[in-house]
Each structure stands twice: as structure tokens, then as C-alpha cells.
Amino acid sequence: MLPHRIQFRGIERTLKAFLNTYNRRNRRKTMKKIGFIGVGIMGKSMVKNLMKAGFELHIYARTKSKVNDVIEEGAIFHETIGECVRASEAVITMVGFPQDVEEVYFDEGNIMDQAEKGMYLIDMTTTSPMISKKIYEEGKKKGVHVVDAPVTGGDTGAKAGTLSILVGGNKEDYEACMPLFEAMGTNINYQGEAGCGQHAKMVNQIMIAGTMSGLCEALSYAKAKDLDCETVLKSVATGAAGSKQLDFFGEKILHGDYTPGFFMKHFIKDMKIALIEANQCELDLDVLSQTLANYEVLEAEGYGDLGTQALIKYYEEGYNEEIIED
């Protein structure tokens, strides 16, 4: 009798796998109406790429005039978050700060109030892992699928549809949302349970903090020693010190271009989250702590709406002249 039991179990596993695949494919086919809340610098490009992929986009923004361009391209505007959610089968959020995430999900009449059983909620904001877990647990009570899916790649990656997307939550939900992710990014990876997407994003932000600090300190040194910064950058870019941060921001720094692909104030928020999480596991991150302190000096001087590359201004104060090519 034992071989028959083994055979039956094998058939049962095969049938279960087939049904799971079938259900995921059906969810992919039916998830066409997508709500998008937080249509900012990166959000606009993400909305446009979703529409290019054939999704019907329903959007909410506090100021309608700021999203007229995506409305003209076919996005459907809603006056309230609740209206946007009710019109959608899945909702993506891409807002600024943790308090914004809590507001759009938990304030009366907003996402959790309006989300129906079976709906998918995808928070692509970089926020606290604790908030991601809270949204997941509340969604679970309502029969709503929740994933945290912060991104990296900046406005350039958002425009090109090449974002890296770091996903936390149930793996089945990650797979069901893959068509949405594939419309916005190319490097899409499942990180683990709810909140793990945010933890992985903190790893990214810690790396950026150290790299940007190193880049700005190095350029400050080059200027202090009367080197030609353009030549120095060209020389080191293909060596061991080469990095995407150097490739993308080096020239911008030299030419005083502080246009935000990612706001300094949002990066400060991310570094604070990373330090809180690090402190909870008694981990000292000295470079991150100092980088945050340097950025906070600049924010206090009114530079919070500049791009992260404006960190060079902190070092300019020390040398009393700008590292900008004439």
C-alpha cells in the first residue's frame, strides 16, 4: 500500500501546484484597474509606464494641476483617496514620509476603510518596516493582500522603467503582482516576509550614504590640492573607486547641478529609519550617523528640496569655495 500512498501524494502536490499557478494567472489577467496614490517625481513616470503596459490608471493627488500631464495621457483623476481605491483592483502608494503612509492607509475613509476583500495593496514608499508590518496585519484581517515594495533607481530608473524593486510579504502575492512590477522595473526580487522589502531598502540607503560621503570628501580633497576635478573623475571612474554614484552624480556636483532625482529631505528620512532599526539590534553604524548629521546641517540651512548630491555643500563650507567648474 505504501507505494500507492506515495503516488497519491505526488499527484496531490502536482494538482496543488497547478491550481496555485492557475489562480495566479487568473489574478494577473483580472488585475487591470490600478489605483496610484502619490504621483510625485518618480510616481509620474511609474504611472506612465503602467499605462504603457496596458493598465487602467486611477490616480489621487492633493493638487490636481500638478498631475495634469498624466491625466492628459489617460490617467483617471479622483478627488479623494476613497474614490480612487473603490475604482481599483490594486492600489499602489508612493508617498513621502512614514506619517504620510499611515495617513493614506489608516485615516477614516482612506485605503483600509475602502479596500475590499481580495484587493492588492502595494506600498512602494520607503518607510518603516514596522509600518509595513502593521499594514500587512490589518490587511490580513480584511482578506486584503499587502506587499511592501520600495524601489531604488531614482527618477532616471523610474522614467526608463528599470527600477530595482525589493518586495516583502507573502511570496504568492509577490508573484501575483509581478506584471505590475515588470511594468516599472527590471531587477525585481522577493526579500522575505512583510517588512523585509523595507529592510533591504535600508541596506541600499546605508550603502548610498557611505558612497555619497566618500565622493564628496574625495572631490573636496582634489579641489584643496588644486587638481583638475574633471580629470580626476575621469581617471578614477574605471578603477576600484568607480561606482554608479560617481558616474551619475560626479559631473552634476562639478557643475553645481543639484536638481533632485531624489530629495535630500527624503534621504534624511530614510537614514533616520535605518538608524532606528540598527539601534534596535544594537548595531553601531558610525558612517551612517555622521552622514545623517551632515545632511541635517544642510537641511537646517534650507537645502532639503535639493538632490542628495548637494551634500557637497557641507564640504564647501569647510573650504569656503565651491567645487564647480567655471
Q: Which of 26-40, 190-204, 299-313 has the lowest mean pLDDT?
A: 26-40
Q: How far apart are CA 189 and CA 186, in angstroms?
A: 10
Instruction: Answer whether residue 20 shows pLDDT above 70.
Output: no
Q: How confident is the model at residue 2 (pLDDT cuts 50, 70, 90)?
A: low
Q: Quick check: 213 and 286 in contact, CB under 8 A?
A: no
Superfamily of domain 200-319: N-(1-d-carboxylethyl)-l-norvaline Dehydrogenase; domain 2 (1.10.1040.10)
Instruction: Give the residue extent of every domain in the chain.
Output: 31-192, 200-319
Q: What cell does 182 get?
A: 515588470
Q: Which of 48, 201, 265, 313 is catalytic?
A: 201
Q: How far apart are CA 326 and CA 315, in angstroms?
A: 18
Instruction: Answer whether residue 21 shows pLDDT above 80.
Output: no
3-class DSSP assignment, residue 2: helix
Instruction: Answer whether residue 317 shows pLDDT above 80.
Output: no
Q: Quick check: 213 and 294 in contact, CB under 8 A?
A: yes
Q: Which of 10-24, 56-70, 75-89, 147-161 has the lowest mean pLDDT?
A: 10-24
Provide the pLDDT for residue 251: 95
Q: What is the mean pLDDT of residues 245-266?
A: 95
Instruction: Answer whether residue 30 shows pLDDT above 70.
Output: no
Give domain 31-192's CATH architecture: 3-Layer(aba) Sandwich (3.40)
DSSP secondary structure code for residue 158 in this structure: H
Q: How far apart are CA 215 and CA 201, in angstroms?
A: 21
Provide the pLDDT for residue 118: 96
Provide the pLDDT for residue 316: 87
Instruction: Answer whether residue 33 shows pLDDT above 90.
Output: yes
Q: What is the mean pLDDT of residues 303-314?
A: 97
| 55 closest CA partner among 175, 163, 165, 180 | 180
Give the percent of the chain with pLDDT over 90.
Answer: 86
Q: What is the mean pLDDT of residues 39-46?
A: 95
Q: How confident is the model at residue 8 (pLDDT cuts 50, 70, 90)?
A: low
> Catalytic site residue 201?
yes
One-letter-per-residue 3-state SS of 273-294: HHHHHHHHCCCCCHHHHHHHHH
Q: How far apart are CA 274 and CA 287, in angstroms?
A: 12
Query: Angle at Cα 37 formed by Cα 35 and Cα 80, nearest 5°?
Result: 85
pLDDT in tens, 137-185: 999 999 999 999 999 999 999 999 999 999 999 999 999 999 999 999 9
Alpha helices in the chain (DSSP H): 2-30, 41-52, 68-72, 81-86, 98-106, 111-114, 129-142, 154-160, 171-176, 178-184, 196-224, 229-236, 244-254, 264-280, 286-300, 312-319
pLDDT in tens, 89-146: 999 999 999 999 999 999 999 999 999 999 999 999 999 999 999 999 999 999 999 9
| 137 closest CA partner among 148, 150, 151 | 148
